[in-house]
Amino acid sequence: MTKYESYFPQVGEADVMHVTRNDRVVTWELNRPEQDNGLDIDTLQAMGSSLTELERDAKQLVCLLVLGQPAVFSTGLDGELLKTCFGDAAIFREVVDRLNAVLDRLEALPFFSVACVEGVCRLGGLELALACDMIVAGEGAAISDGHLDYDAMPGGGETRRLPARIGYSGALRFILQKETLGATEAYKRGLVDEAVPNGQALLRGRALAETLSALHPSVVHGIKSSLRAAAPRVMARTETETFQHAVIDRLVSG
């Protein structure tokens, strides 16, 4: 057993994420509010296990809703996990690779996905939202990148997905100027698809899911596939991997 395998245990008893299904719609609710919905190993494994089921049942599904709590969507990788990462570059790379594997699978789902964002959404939390097809944000949302606070670069696909949403210069400005956007401004910039009253992001997500539920899943899948083929290309993970690994090596070596 490698040290990486020994470090990554099976999902424990902690209920880190609620997964519910109502007919053709599945909901992920992050459930670590005291840790700002930080993505720890258990959460990444729970997402991976759920994705395996979603991929298996994809022909019957039309929508996945992803949400956090009213005060925080997610602040990215868990703080305690990051302490371990900053002490071992190999583990850090493995964690980032696992995060990317989950987000790439989420993005590749054949049915529609909606991030229902309320409260703080930053770091890997934003990268989770960007992996969804649509982002709906409540007016109280505070959306930022945050990696420069740690002298780091996004490691979960933001540099690949953000330019496809708001263009190269828009992404550069957002990240390098360390901007924090509310829902209305994020909507104006194209970072989110809809801005709704505070606390209404999930309700709007459910309304979208209900509309999709009236359609045959094959129609939803076909439309998504066709539109993605015509959309701006999202870079492959391998195109940014070298840069991310170099930053990790520098952060760990000090």
Summarised one tens digit per residue, pLDDT across range 190-237 is: 999 999 999 999 999 999 999 999 999 999 999 999 998 887 777 777
What is the total count of domains within the chain?
Answer: 1
The CATH number for 248's domain is 3.90.226.10
**What integer pLDDT is reported at residue 246 of this predicted model?**
82
- Which residues form the domain of 210? 3-253
Q: In the chain, what are the helix, strand and coil shares in percent, each to the nearest 5?
A: 55, 15, 30
The candidate with the shortest Cα–Cα distance to 73, out of 134, 30, 130, is 30
Burial of 62 (0-12, 13-18, 19+ CB in 10 A): buried
Q: What is the mean pLDDT of the chain?
A: 92
Which segments of 146-216 does DSSP mark as H helices, in order? 158-176, 183-189, 201-213
Residue 82 token pair: 């990051």
**What integer pLDDT is reported at residue 13 of this predicted model?**
45
**What tens digit of pLDDT does each residue of 121-179 get?**
999 999 999 999 999 999 999 999 999 999 988 999 999 999 999 999 999 999 999 99
**What integer pLDDT is reported at residue 239 of this predicted model?**
75
